[in-house]
Structure 1
Amino acid sequence: MRILSSNLPKYIIDSKSNREIETMDRIVVTEDVQRLGIKNPVGCLISGLEVRSGASELDEHVEKLERKISENSEEILSREEVSAYHDVFEAVGHPGQEPAGEQLVRLIREQGLNRHNNVVDAYNIASAERGMGLGMHDVTALSGDVYVHRASGGERILPIFHEQPVQATTGDVLHEVGGQILGILGPVDRDAGAYRVTEATDQALLLSLGNEKTAEEDNRAVCRRAYDLICETCPDATLTFLDVRTRDATDADSAVASP
Protein backbone atom coordinates (compact mmCIF):
# COMPACT_ATOMS: atom_id res chain seq x y z
CA MET A 1 0.00 0.00 0.00
CA ARG A 2 1.29 3.46 -0.87
CA ILE A 3 -0.57 6.38 0.74
CA LEU A 4 0.93 9.65 -0.39
CA SER A 5 0.87 13.16 1.04
CA SER A 6 -1.72 15.59 -0.31
CA ASN A 7 0.88 18.36 -0.54
CA LEU A 8 1.10 18.16 -4.30
CA PRO A 9 2.52 20.95 -6.48
CA LYS A 10 -0.26 23.18 -7.83
CA TYR A 11 1.08 22.77 -11.36
CA ILE A 12 3.10 20.10 -13.13
CA ILE A 13 4.68 19.91 -16.57
CA ASP A 14 2.87 17.62 -18.98
CA SER A 15 5.52 15.37 -20.54
CA LYS A 16 3.75 15.18 -23.89
CA SER A 17 2.93 18.85 -24.50
CA ASN A 18 5.62 20.37 -22.26
CA ARG A 19 2.87 22.67 -20.95
CA GLU A 20 2.11 23.58 -17.36
CA ILE A 21 -1.14 21.96 -16.19
CA GLU A 22 -3.05 22.33 -12.93
CA THR A 23 -3.03 19.37 -10.56
CA MET A 24 -5.97 18.09 -8.54
CA ASP A 25 -4.92 18.59 -4.94
CA ARG A 26 -7.90 19.87 -2.99
CA ILE A 27 -11.64 19.82 -2.46
CA VAL A 28 -13.40 23.17 -2.17
CA VAL A 29 -16.72 22.97 -0.30
CA THR A 30 -19.07 25.92 0.01
CA GLU A 31 -20.36 26.87 3.44
CA ASP A 32 -23.99 26.40 2.41
CA VAL A 33 -23.19 22.76 1.55
CA GLN A 34 -21.67 22.27 5.00
CA ARG A 35 -24.86 23.61 6.57
CA LEU A 36 -26.73 20.70 4.96
CA GLY A 37 -24.76 18.32 7.18
CA ILE A 38 -21.89 17.58 4.80
CA LYS A 39 -19.35 18.49 7.46
CA ASN A 40 -16.31 16.30 6.85
CA PRO A 41 -16.11 15.35 3.16
CA VAL A 42 -13.11 13.31 2.09
CA GLY A 43 -11.72 12.75 -1.37
CA CYS A 44 -8.71 10.94 -2.71
CA LEU A 45 -6.98 10.25 -6.00
CA ILE A 46 -6.22 6.63 -6.81
CA SER A 47 -3.62 6.38 -9.55
CA GLY A 48 -1.95 3.53 -11.39
CA LEU A 49 -5.18 1.64 -11.99
CA GLU A 50 -5.39 -1.41 -14.23
CA VAL A 51 -9.11 -1.85 -14.81
CA ARG A 52 -10.35 -5.19 -16.11
CA SER A 53 -13.67 -6.98 -16.30
CA GLY A 54 -12.74 -10.04 -14.25
CA ALA A 55 -12.06 -9.81 -10.52
CA SER A 56 -11.96 -13.32 -9.08
CA GLU A 57 -9.64 -12.01 -6.35
CA LEU A 58 -12.67 -10.24 -4.87
CA ASP A 59 -15.02 -13.23 -4.93
CA GLU A 60 -14.49 -14.09 -1.27
CA HIS A 61 -15.20 -10.50 -0.22
CA VAL A 62 -18.36 -10.47 -2.33
CA GLU A 63 -19.60 -13.75 -0.89
CA LYS A 64 -18.97 -12.58 2.67
CA LEU A 65 -20.76 -9.28 2.01
CA GLU A 66 -23.76 -10.92 0.36
CA ARG A 67 -24.06 -13.39 3.24
CA LYS A 68 -23.90 -10.63 5.86
CA ILE A 69 -26.53 -8.50 4.10
CA SER A 70 -28.79 -11.49 3.50
CA GLU A 71 -28.68 -12.50 7.15
CA ASN A 72 -28.87 -9.08 8.80
CA SER A 73 -28.82 -5.99 6.60
CA GLU A 74 -30.23 -3.94 9.50
CA GLU A 75 -26.91 -4.27 11.28
CA ILE A 76 -25.58 -1.95 8.59
CA LEU A 77 -28.62 0.23 7.92
CA SER A 78 -29.45 0.96 11.57
CA ARG A 79 -26.14 2.72 12.23
CA GLU A 80 -26.62 6.45 12.82
CA GLU A 81 -23.85 7.20 10.33
CA VAL A 82 -26.04 5.53 7.69
CA SER A 83 -29.48 6.82 8.66
CA ALA A 84 -28.17 10.40 8.82
CA TYR A 85 -27.90 10.47 5.01
CA HIS A 86 -31.70 10.89 5.06
CA ASP A 87 -31.19 14.14 6.97
CA VAL A 88 -28.95 15.45 4.18
CA PHE A 89 -31.58 14.79 1.53
CA GLU A 90 -34.25 16.39 3.69
CA ALA A 91 -32.07 19.48 4.15
CA VAL A 92 -31.46 19.65 0.40
CA GLY A 93 -35.22 19.58 -0.12
CA HIS A 94 -35.84 15.97 -1.14
CA PRO A 95 -37.24 14.07 1.87
CA GLY A 96 -37.88 10.42 1.18
CA GLN A 97 -34.97 10.07 -1.25
CA GLU A 98 -33.15 6.75 -0.79
CA PRO A 99 -29.44 7.41 -0.15
CA ALA A 100 -26.98 5.65 -2.46
CA GLY A 101 -25.39 3.48 0.24
CA GLU A 102 -28.76 2.31 1.52
CA GLN A 103 -29.94 1.63 -2.03
CA LEU A 104 -26.85 -0.47 -2.71
CA VAL A 105 -27.44 -2.58 0.40
CA ARG A 106 -31.07 -3.12 -0.60
CA LEU A 107 -30.14 -4.17 -4.13
CA ILE A 108 -27.53 -6.63 -2.84
CA ARG A 109 -30.10 -8.08 -0.45
CA GLU A 110 -32.57 -8.55 -3.32
CA GLN A 111 -30.30 -9.77 -6.12
CA GLY A 112 -26.68 -9.93 -5.01
CA LEU A 113 -23.86 -7.58 -5.99
CA ASN A 114 -23.99 -6.54 -9.63
CA ARG A 115 -20.39 -7.06 -10.81
CA HIS A 116 -18.82 -4.54 -13.22
CA ASN A 117 -15.02 -4.52 -13.09
CA ASN A 118 -12.30 -4.97 -10.49
CA VAL A 119 -12.22 -1.31 -9.45
CA VAL A 120 -15.96 -0.62 -9.38
CA ASP A 121 -16.57 -3.91 -7.55
CA ALA A 122 -13.99 -2.92 -4.94
CA TYR A 123 -15.53 0.43 -4.09
CA ASN A 124 -19.05 -1.01 -4.14
CA ILE A 125 -17.98 -3.62 -1.58
CA ALA A 126 -16.51 -0.89 0.65
CA SER A 127 -19.63 1.24 0.26
CA ALA A 128 -22.05 -1.59 1.07
CA GLU A 129 -20.02 -2.89 4.04
CA ARG A 130 -20.62 0.44 5.77
CA GLY A 131 -23.82 1.60 4.07
CA MET A 132 -22.01 4.78 3.05
CA GLY A 133 -22.45 6.38 -0.34
CA LEU A 134 -19.30 6.74 -2.43
CA GLY A 135 -18.70 8.38 -5.77
CA MET A 136 -15.91 7.27 -8.09
CA HIS A 137 -15.04 9.11 -11.29
CA ASP A 138 -12.47 8.76 -14.05
CA VAL A 139 -10.42 11.96 -13.80
CA THR A 140 -7.54 10.85 -16.02
CA ALA A 141 -8.21 13.80 -18.35
CA LEU A 142 -9.32 16.33 -15.70
CA SER A 143 -7.38 18.75 -13.50
CA GLY A 144 -8.13 21.48 -10.98
CA ASP A 145 -10.02 21.69 -7.70
CA VAL A 146 -12.91 19.39 -6.86
CA TYR A 147 -15.71 21.89 -6.29
CA VAL A 148 -18.71 20.89 -4.13
CA HIS A 149 -21.52 23.45 -4.20
CA ARG A 150 -25.26 23.97 -4.45
CA ALA A 151 -26.84 24.09 -7.88
CA SER A 152 -28.31 27.20 -9.43
CA GLY A 153 -30.82 24.94 -11.19
CA GLY A 154 -30.77 23.63 -14.73
CA GLU A 155 -27.35 21.96 -14.64
CA ARG A 156 -27.49 18.60 -16.39
CA ILE A 157 -25.62 15.32 -16.61
CA LEU A 158 -26.21 12.10 -18.49
CA PRO A 159 -26.04 9.52 -15.68
CA ILE A 160 -24.35 6.14 -15.91
CA PHE A 161 -26.48 3.63 -17.81
CA HIS A 162 -29.13 6.24 -18.67
CA GLU A 163 -30.29 7.38 -22.10
CA GLN A 164 -31.74 10.73 -21.01
CA PRO A 165 -30.02 13.50 -19.04
CA VAL A 166 -31.18 14.52 -15.58
CA GLN A 167 -31.42 18.12 -14.49
CA ALA A 168 -30.50 19.60 -11.13
CA THR A 169 -33.03 21.69 -9.25
CA THR A 170 -32.05 24.83 -7.37
CA GLY A 171 -30.20 23.91 -4.18
CA ASP A 172 -29.15 20.39 -5.17
CA VAL A 173 -25.54 19.47 -4.40
CA LEU A 174 -23.11 19.17 -7.31
CA HIS A 175 -19.49 18.12 -7.43
CA GLU A 176 -17.42 19.08 -10.42
CA VAL A 177 -13.87 19.46 -11.69
CA GLY A 178 -12.86 22.04 -14.28
CA GLY A 179 -16.50 22.89 -14.98
CA GLN A 180 -17.39 19.25 -15.65
CA ILE A 181 -20.15 18.00 -13.36
CA LEU A 182 -19.32 14.56 -12.00
CA GLY A 183 -22.39 13.99 -9.86
CA ILE A 184 -25.72 15.36 -8.60
CA LEU A 185 -27.20 14.83 -5.15
CA GLY A 186 -30.85 15.85 -5.37
CA PRO A 187 -34.13 14.23 -6.38
CA VAL A 188 -31.81 11.56 -7.75
CA ASP A 189 -28.31 10.65 -6.59
CA ARG A 190 -26.46 10.07 -9.84
CA ASP A 191 -22.94 10.11 -11.28
CA ALA A 192 -22.11 11.30 -14.79
CA GLY A 193 -21.68 8.51 -17.33
CA ALA A 194 -18.95 10.43 -19.15
CA TYR A 195 -16.64 9.90 -16.17
CA ARG A 196 -17.46 6.32 -15.19
CA VAL A 197 -14.54 3.99 -14.52
CA THR A 198 -13.67 1.85 -17.55
CA GLU A 199 -10.70 -0.16 -18.79
CA ALA A 200 -9.26 3.11 -20.13
CA THR A 201 -9.16 4.66 -16.65
CA ASP A 202 -5.72 5.27 -15.14
CA GLN A 203 -6.68 7.68 -12.35
CA ALA A 204 -9.92 7.93 -10.38
CA LEU A 205 -11.35 10.35 -7.86
CA LEU A 206 -13.07 8.69 -4.90
CA LEU A 207 -15.42 10.85 -2.82
CA SER A 208 -17.16 10.25 0.49
CA LEU A 209 -19.24 13.36 1.21
CA GLY A 210 -20.66 11.92 4.41
CA ASN A 211 -23.20 13.55 6.71
CA GLU A 212 -23.61 15.13 10.15
CA LYS A 213 -22.78 11.84 11.90
CA THR A 214 -19.76 10.76 9.86
CA ALA A 215 -16.48 11.99 11.25
CA GLU A 216 -13.58 12.72 8.93
CA GLU A 217 -12.02 9.42 9.99
CA ASP A 218 -15.20 7.55 9.01
CA ASN A 219 -15.00 9.00 5.52
CA ARG A 220 -11.28 8.34 5.30
CA ALA A 221 -11.73 4.78 6.51
CA VAL A 222 -14.25 3.85 3.80
CA CYS A 223 -11.94 5.35 1.16
CA ARG A 224 -8.98 3.40 2.53
CA ARG A 225 -11.06 0.22 2.55
CA ALA A 226 -11.95 0.74 -1.11
CA TYR A 227 -8.28 1.36 -1.88
CA ASP A 228 -7.16 -1.79 -0.04
CA LEU A 229 -9.63 -3.83 -2.08
CA ILE A 230 -8.47 -2.17 -5.30
CA CYS A 231 -4.88 -3.09 -4.42
CA GLU A 232 -5.81 -6.78 -4.50
CA THR A 233 -6.03 -6.45 -8.29
CA CYS A 234 -3.94 -3.28 -8.79
CA PRO A 235 -0.92 -3.77 -6.49
CA ASP A 236 0.90 -0.71 -7.86
CA ALA A 237 -1.99 1.70 -7.28
CA THR A 238 -1.31 4.76 -5.10
CA LEU A 239 -3.67 6.71 -2.85
CA THR A 240 -3.46 10.47 -2.29
CA PHE A 241 -5.90 12.19 0.04
CA LEU A 242 -6.89 15.70 -1.02
CA ASP A 243 -6.88 18.77 1.20
CA VAL A 244 -10.31 20.21 1.99
CA ARG A 245 -11.05 23.94 1.98
CA THR A 246 -14.24 25.84 2.79
CA ARG A 247 -15.41 28.82 0.76
CA ASP A 248 -18.34 31.22 1.01
CA ALA A 249 -20.77 30.40 -1.78
CA THR A 250 -20.90 34.05 -2.87
CA ASP A 251 -17.16 34.00 -3.55
CA ALA A 252 -17.24 30.86 -5.69
CA ASP A 253 -17.99 30.78 -9.39
CA SER A 254 -20.01 27.83 -10.64
CA ALA A 255 -19.55 26.29 -14.06
CA VAL A 256 -22.26 24.31 -15.83
CA ALA A 257 -21.32 21.29 -17.90
CA SER A 258 -23.03 20.27 -21.08
CA PRO A 259 -25.28 17.19 -20.90
Structure 2
Amino acid sequence: MNSRTAKRKPVATPVYRVALVSGANRGLGFEVARQLSERGMTVLLGARDLDKGLHAARKLAGAPGEVIAVQLDVTRQDEVDTLVRWIDVTYGRLDVLVNNAGGHYDHDAAASTSDVTSAHAALETHLFGSWRLSSALLPLMRRHGYGRIVNVSSGCAASDSSSAGCVAYRTSKAALNAYTRTLATELEGSGIVVNAVCPGWVATELGGPGGRPVERGATGIVWAANLPAPAPTGRFFRDGQMIPW
Protein backbone atom coordinates (compact mmCIF):
# COMPACT_ATOMS: atom_id res chain seq x y z
CA MET A 1 0.00 0.00 0.00
CA ASN A 2 1.56 3.31 -1.00
CA SER A 3 1.25 6.54 0.97
CA ARG A 4 -1.28 8.01 -1.45
CA THR A 5 -3.57 5.03 -0.96
CA ALA A 6 -3.13 5.07 2.81
CA LYS A 7 -4.22 8.72 3.08
CA ARG A 8 -7.26 8.41 0.82
CA LYS A 9 -10.50 9.13 2.65
CA PRO A 10 -13.34 6.65 2.28
CA VAL A 11 -16.10 7.74 -0.07
CA ALA A 12 -19.48 7.96 1.63
CA THR A 13 -22.10 5.65 0.19
CA PRO A 14 -25.14 7.63 -1.02
CA VAL A 15 -28.28 7.07 1.06
CA TYR A 16 -30.82 5.10 -0.93
CA ARG A 17 -34.38 6.21 -0.22
CA VAL A 18 -37.72 4.70 -1.23
CA ALA A 19 -40.87 6.83 -1.00
CA LEU A 20 -44.57 6.07 -1.39
CA VAL A 21 -47.04 8.82 -2.29
CA SER A 22 -50.73 7.95 -2.19
CA GLY A 23 -53.17 9.61 -4.59
CA ALA A 24 -50.28 10.55 -6.86
CA ASN A 25 -51.55 10.14 -10.42
CA ARG A 26 -52.60 13.80 -10.62
CA GLY A 27 -52.58 17.17 -8.91
CA LEU A 28 -50.65 17.72 -5.71
CA GLY A 29 -49.63 14.07 -5.30
CA PHE A 30 -48.19 13.92 -8.80
CA GLU A 31 -46.13 17.04 -8.19
CA VAL A 32 -44.87 15.65 -4.87
CA ALA A 33 -43.83 12.45 -6.67
CA ARG A 34 -42.06 14.52 -9.33
CA GLN A 35 -40.14 16.60 -6.80
CA LEU A 36 -39.12 13.55 -4.75
CA SER A 37 -37.88 11.81 -7.89
CA GLU A 38 -35.89 14.93 -8.80
CA ARG A 39 -34.08 14.43 -5.48
CA GLY A 40 -33.06 10.95 -6.60
CA MET A 41 -35.57 8.95 -4.59
CA THR A 42 -37.24 5.84 -5.91
CA VAL A 43 -40.88 6.91 -5.86
CA LEU A 44 -43.84 4.56 -5.73
CA LEU A 45 -46.70 6.48 -7.32
CA GLY A 46 -49.89 5.23 -5.70
CA ALA A 47 -53.12 5.33 -7.72
CA ARG A 48 -56.53 3.71 -7.35
CA ASP A 49 -56.68 3.28 -11.12
CA LEU A 50 -53.43 1.59 -12.14
CA ASP A 51 -53.79 2.64 -15.79
CA LYS A 52 -53.89 6.28 -14.72
CA GLY A 53 -50.92 5.64 -12.46
CA LEU A 54 -48.92 4.11 -15.30
CA HIS A 55 -49.75 7.08 -17.52
CA ALA A 56 -48.59 9.49 -14.80
CA ALA A 57 -45.37 7.55 -14.16
CA ARG A 58 -44.50 7.66 -17.86
CA LYS A 59 -44.59 11.45 -17.70
CA LEU A 60 -41.79 11.31 -15.15
CA ALA A 61 -39.54 8.99 -17.13
CA GLY A 62 -35.98 10.26 -17.16
CA ALA A 63 -36.05 11.82 -13.70
CA PRO A 64 -33.01 11.19 -11.48
CA GLY A 65 -35.06 8.80 -9.36
CA GLU A 66 -37.12 5.92 -10.70
CA VAL A 67 -40.90 6.37 -10.58
CA ILE A 68 -43.05 3.23 -10.42
CA ALA A 69 -46.84 3.17 -10.53
CA VAL A 70 -48.49 0.96 -7.91
CA GLN A 71 -52.13 0.06 -7.33
CA LEU A 72 -53.34 1.63 -4.11
CA ASP A 73 -56.79 2.39 -2.78
CA VAL A 74 -56.17 3.46 0.81
CA THR A 75 -59.72 2.51 1.79
CA ARG A 76 -59.05 -1.16 0.96
CA GLN A 77 -57.03 -3.15 3.46
CA ASP A 78 -56.37 -5.93 0.95
CA GLU A 79 -54.71 -3.54 -1.50
CA VAL A 80 -52.64 -1.99 1.29
CA ASP A 81 -51.48 -5.42 2.50
CA THR A 82 -50.61 -6.57 -1.02
CA LEU A 83 -48.59 -3.43 -1.69
CA VAL A 84 -46.70 -3.66 1.61
CA ARG A 85 -45.70 -7.26 0.88
CA TRP A 86 -44.47 -6.22 -2.58
CA ILE A 87 -42.44 -3.32 -1.17
CA ASP A 88 -40.89 -5.63 1.41
CA VAL A 89 -39.90 -8.24 -1.18
CA THR A 90 -38.74 -5.71 -3.78
CA TYR A 91 -36.93 -3.12 -1.66
CA GLY A 92 -36.87 -4.36 1.92
CA ARG A 93 -37.47 -0.82 3.13
CA LEU A 94 -39.73 2.22 2.99
CA ASP A 95 -38.25 5.54 4.05
CA VAL A 96 -40.86 8.14 3.18
CA LEU A 97 -44.64 7.92 3.25
CA VAL A 98 -46.75 10.82 2.01
CA ASN A 99 -50.40 10.31 2.92
CA ASN A 100 -51.85 12.49 0.19
CA ALA A 101 -54.92 10.56 -1.03
CA GLY A 102 -57.92 12.79 -0.59
CA GLY A 103 -61.07 14.35 -1.90
CA HIS A 104 -64.56 14.94 -0.49
CA TYR A 105 -64.20 18.73 -0.55
CA ASP A 106 -67.79 19.58 0.36
CA HIS A 107 -67.44 23.34 0.07
CA ASP A 108 -71.12 24.24 0.36
CA ALA A 109 -72.11 21.63 2.96
CA ALA A 110 -73.42 22.79 6.34
CA ALA A 111 -72.93 20.99 9.64
CA SER A 112 -76.63 21.17 10.52
CA THR A 113 -77.99 19.62 7.33
CA SER A 114 -75.28 17.51 5.68
CA ASP A 115 -75.78 13.84 5.01
CA VAL A 116 -73.27 11.97 7.19
CA THR A 117 -72.51 9.69 4.24
CA SER A 118 -70.05 12.30 2.97
CA ALA A 119 -68.42 12.48 6.40
CA HIS A 120 -67.98 8.70 6.46
CA ALA A 121 -66.30 8.82 3.04
CA ALA A 122 -64.00 11.69 4.02
CA LEU A 123 -62.95 10.00 7.25
CA GLU A 124 -62.40 6.69 5.47
CA THR A 125 -59.91 8.32 3.09
CA HIS A 126 -58.23 11.06 5.11
CA LEU A 127 -58.11 9.52 8.58
CA PHE A 128 -58.50 5.76 8.27
CA GLY A 129 -56.67 5.56 4.95
CA SER A 130 -53.63 7.34 6.42
CA TRP A 131 -53.90 5.29 9.61
CA ARG A 132 -54.18 2.03 7.69
CA LEU A 133 -51.22 2.78 5.43
CA SER A 134 -48.97 4.14 8.20
CA SER A 135 -49.57 1.15 10.48
CA ALA A 136 -48.87 -1.33 7.69
CA LEU A 137 -45.62 0.34 6.61
CA LEU A 138 -44.13 1.19 10.00
CA PRO A 139 -42.35 -2.20 10.33
CA LEU A 140 -40.35 -1.40 7.18
CA MET A 141 -39.31 1.94 8.67
CA ARG A 142 -38.48 0.46 12.06
CA ARG A 143 -36.19 -2.05 10.35
CA HIS A 144 -33.73 0.72 9.49
CA GLY A 145 -34.56 3.15 12.29
CA TYR A 146 -35.57 5.84 9.84
CA GLY A 147 -38.81 7.21 8.48
CA ARG A 148 -40.58 10.37 7.41
CA ILE A 149 -44.38 10.23 7.47
CA VAL A 150 -46.09 13.32 6.06
CA ASN A 151 -49.85 13.63 6.44
CA VAL A 152 -51.28 16.14 3.98
CA SER A 153 -53.74 18.19 5.99
CA SER A 154 -55.38 21.61 5.67
CA GLY A 155 -55.36 24.90 7.48
CA CYS A 156 -59.14 24.70 7.63
CA ALA A 157 -58.70 21.87 10.16
CA ALA A 158 -56.90 24.13 12.65
CA SER A 159 -58.78 24.77 15.87
CA ASP A 160 -58.89 28.53 15.28
CA SER A 161 -60.36 28.17 11.77
CA SER A 162 -64.02 29.12 11.59
CA SER A 163 -66.32 28.58 8.65
CA ALA A 164 -69.72 27.04 8.04
CA GLY A 165 -68.61 25.06 4.99
CA CYS A 166 -66.52 22.00 4.17
CA VAL A 167 -67.79 20.20 7.25
CA ALA A 168 -66.85 16.65 6.22
CA TYR A 169 -63.50 17.69 4.77
CA ARG A 170 -62.66 19.92 7.73
CA THR A 171 -63.65 17.34 10.34
CA SER A 172 -61.74 14.51 8.70
CA LYS A 173 -58.58 16.61 8.41
CA ALA A 174 -58.89 17.69 12.06
CA ALA A 175 -59.07 14.00 12.98
CA LEU A 176 -55.98 13.38 10.84
CA ASN A 177 -54.17 16.11 12.78
CA ALA A 178 -55.02 14.39 16.07
CA TYR A 179 -53.75 11.08 14.70
CA THR A 180 -50.54 12.79 13.55
CA ARG A 181 -49.78 14.10 17.04
CA THR A 182 -50.58 10.79 18.71
CA LEU A 183 -48.46 8.69 16.35
CA ALA A 184 -45.57 11.15 16.56
CA THR A 185 -45.55 10.91 20.35
CA GLU A 186 -45.56 7.11 20.22
CA LEU A 187 -42.63 7.03 17.78
CA GLU A 188 -40.51 9.71 19.43
CA GLY A 189 -36.87 8.63 19.60
CA SER A 190 -37.29 5.86 17.01
CA GLY A 191 -35.84 7.81 14.08
CA ILE A 192 -39.33 7.97 12.53
CA VAL A 193 -40.92 11.42 12.52
CA VAL A 194 -44.53 12.22 11.76
CA ASN A 195 -45.78 15.64 10.74
CA ALA A 196 -48.80 17.24 9.11
CA VAL A 197 -48.43 19.73 6.27
CA CYS A 198 -50.92 22.22 4.90
CA PRO A 199 -50.06 22.87 1.24
CA GLY A 200 -52.29 25.94 1.16
CA TRP A 201 -55.05 26.51 -1.34
CA VAL A 202 -53.63 24.90 -4.46
CA ALA A 203 -54.94 25.23 -8.01
CA THR A 204 -55.78 21.59 -8.69
CA GLU A 205 -58.86 19.70 -9.81
CA LEU A 206 -59.88 19.40 -6.14
CA GLY A 207 -58.98 22.95 -5.09
CA GLY A 208 -60.27 24.63 -8.23
CA PRO A 209 -58.80 27.62 -10.08
CA GLY A 210 -57.35 30.66 -8.35
CA GLY A 211 -55.10 28.93 -5.85
CA ARG A 212 -51.32 28.94 -5.59
CA PRO A 213 -49.30 26.95 -8.14
CA VAL A 214 -49.22 23.25 -7.40
CA GLU A 215 -45.40 23.33 -7.41
CA ARG A 216 -45.42 25.69 -4.45
CA GLY A 217 -47.93 23.63 -2.51
CA ALA A 218 -45.90 20.47 -3.05
CA THR A 219 -42.62 22.07 -1.96
CA GLY A 220 -43.61 22.17 1.72
CA ILE A 221 -44.59 18.50 1.64
CA VAL A 222 -41.29 17.50 0.02
CA TRP A 223 -39.44 19.60 2.59
CA ALA A 224 -41.10 17.65 5.43
CA ALA A 225 -40.32 14.36 3.66
CA ASN A 226 -36.61 15.23 3.67
CA LEU A 227 -36.12 16.63 7.17
CA PRO A 228 -32.58 15.94 8.40
CA ALA A 229 -31.99 14.48 11.84
CA PRO A 230 -32.65 15.61 14.47
CA ALA A 231 -36.03 16.42 12.97
CA PRO A 232 -39.11 17.98 14.55
CA THR A 233 -42.02 15.62 14.96
CA GLY A 234 -45.68 15.99 15.81
CA ARG A 235 -45.86 19.45 14.23
CA PHE A 236 -48.10 21.23 11.72
CA PHE A 237 -46.31 23.06 8.90
CA ARG A 238 -47.01 25.29 5.93
CA ASP A 239 -44.17 26.30 3.61
CA GLY A 240 -41.61 24.97 6.09
CA GLN A 241 -42.95 27.12 8.93
CA MET A 242 -44.77 25.75 11.94
CA ILE A 243 -48.43 26.78 12.25
CA PRO A 244 -50.87 26.30 15.17
CA TRP A 245 -52.96 23.15 15.40
Q: What TM-score range do you get, normalising by the shorter chain?
A: under 0.3
Q: TM-score, normalised by structure 2?
A: 0.28
**Normalised TM-score (structure 1):** 0.27
Relative to total residues, which structure has the larger helix share, 1 or 2? Answer: 2
Higher strand share: 1
